[in-house]
Amino acid sequence: DGGITQSPKYLFRKEGQNVTLSCEQNLNHDAMYWYRQDPGQGLRLIYYSQIVNDFQKGDIAEGYSVSREKKESFPLTVTSAQKNPTAFYLCASSIGVTGAEAFFGQGTRLTVV
């Protein structure tokens, strides 16, 4: 089935460790996104990529890094520099960045202890 797969669904890490969240899509979409949700905050944009080997910072990029080596994959690394990493992370993709409907993964809940 076509769609976006995020893994794992739940992730636990110790404070100070980097962790990478996976996002894969088989929709042949050029654009991919990472959002973070905290209680009462809605979805906040971390990074997005319009095309392979290109990405732009969103509103809350500090402490995160991404890569876009393949069209299908847009992994997000939460580094030890991210002060409050515990959150729900959603990956999405769309045909293009502007005006195109976004399709979302199921999300990864990251807990840092």
Partner 1 sequence: ILNVEQSPQSLHVQEGDSTNFTCSFPSSNFYALHWYRWETAKSPEALFVMTLNGDEKKKGRISATLNTKEGYSYLYIKGSQPEDSATYLCAQNQAGTALIFGKGTTLSVSS
Task: List interacting residues with partner 1 (CB under 8 A).
Answer: 4, 31, 33, 35, 40-45, 48, 56, 58-59, 90, 97-107
Rounded CA separation 36/24 (Å): 17
Rounded least distance, CB 43 to partner 1, Å: 4
The SS3 assignment for 55 reads strand
110, two tokens: 């990251």
Task: Between 2 and 40, name the residue whose CB sits nearer to partner 1.
Answer: 40
Q: Compute φ and ψ for 16, nearest 5 degrees.
A: 95, -10
To partner 1, the closest distance from the beta carbon of 46 in angstroms equals 10
Shortest distance, position 80 Cβ to partner 1, whole Å: 25
